[in-house]
């Protein structure tokens, strides 16, 4: 009995080690996104939501589609953008998979969370072209953080300070003089407004998460643990977290701007 309990605990810890940061940031991004959309709708109306969706929704859905292809799923139908239906759906990817394939089943998790990373990669790419100095600062932070070998209080404080400087860099005087900065900000807001996961995304991702957990249970039962990859997984988590922090920064900025619009509307 003790063996089974330890087995399940170890598998659970390893599952969280692989996916915990994605889930944690995904929940926060969802709250920010929902409140931002509400504020934009209340302050500027339905058309403003459609404008953000025209840019943000196709990126969201294409992210699902690309990961569906990578994990060997069959895409039956795709709608990159539409007027919201009765459930508020502005786009979708209808895909199927082989239930006998562990690879395709685990892929459900990554397909479900794909819009977060598709959105972040789009924003970082836009940053490269529109505000290259800020992009270079982000890349420096990201690569310097990959040298971290252990997580502690000092390390976390250092990372928070670095990303605080990134926020200052985004809103630097130099960028305010750059006309491309305003294009970046507008498009980034549109992407951030649709970067979080829908209930359908969460449902699909949860199926993959369960299969991943069961796979790790089986591996640990045969004495195969991912602990030997601890340094590689640490770097993976640092890399993933760096990208997620960018999503969090832009989503927070979007929320603050939407809140400001709501306040102005009420005056």
Q: What is the pLDDT of residues 16-55, one digit of tens each?
A: 888 888 888 888 988 898 899 899 999 989 898 899 999 9
Q: What is the average pLDDT value for the chain, to the nearest integer?
A: 87
Cα distance between residue 32 and residue 26, in whole Å: 10
Cα distance between residue 115 and residue 193, in whole Å: 11
The answer to whether 201 and 108 are in contact (CB under 8 A) is no
Of 163, 55, 172, nearest to 119 (Cα)? 55
Q: Name which of 16-20, 99-103, 166-170, 208-212 the model is least confident about.
A: 16-20
Average of per-residue pLDDT across 231-236: 76
pLDDT of residue 178: 95
């Amino acid at each position: 009995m003790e063996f089974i309990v330890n087995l399940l605990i170890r598998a659970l810890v390893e599952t969280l080690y692989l996916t915990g940061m994605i889930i944690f940031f995904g929940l926060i991004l969802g709250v920010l996104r929902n409140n931002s959309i509400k504020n934009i709708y209340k302050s500027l109306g339905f058309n403003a939501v459609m404008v953000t969706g025209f840019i943000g929704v196709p990126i969201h859905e294409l992210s699902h589609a690309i990961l569906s292809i990578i994990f060997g799923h069959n895409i039956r139908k795709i709608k990159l953008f539409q007027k919201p239906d009765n459930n508020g759906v502005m786009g979708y990817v209808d895909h199927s998979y082989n239930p006998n394939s562990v690879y395709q089943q685990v892929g459900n998790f990554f397909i479900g969370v794909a819009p977060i990373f598709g959105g972040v990669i789009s924003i970082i790419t836009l940053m490269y072209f529109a505000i290259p100095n800020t992009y270079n600062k982000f890349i420096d932070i990201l690569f310097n953080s990959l040298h971290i070998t252990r997580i502690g209080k000092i390390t976390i404080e250092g990372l928070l300070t670095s990303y605080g400087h990134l926020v200052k860099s985004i809103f630097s005087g130099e960028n305010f003089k750059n006309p491309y900065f305003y294009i970046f900000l507008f498009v980034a807001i549109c992407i951030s407004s649709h970067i979080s996961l829908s209930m359908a995304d969460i449902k699909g991702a949860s199926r993959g998460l369960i299969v991943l957990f069961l796979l790790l249970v089986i591996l640990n039962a045969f004495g195969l643990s991912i602990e030997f990859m601890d340094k590689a997984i640490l770097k993976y988590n640092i890399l993933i977290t760096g990208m997620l922090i960018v999503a969090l920064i832009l989503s927070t900025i979007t929320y603050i701007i939407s809140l400001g619009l709501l306040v102005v509307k009420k005056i």
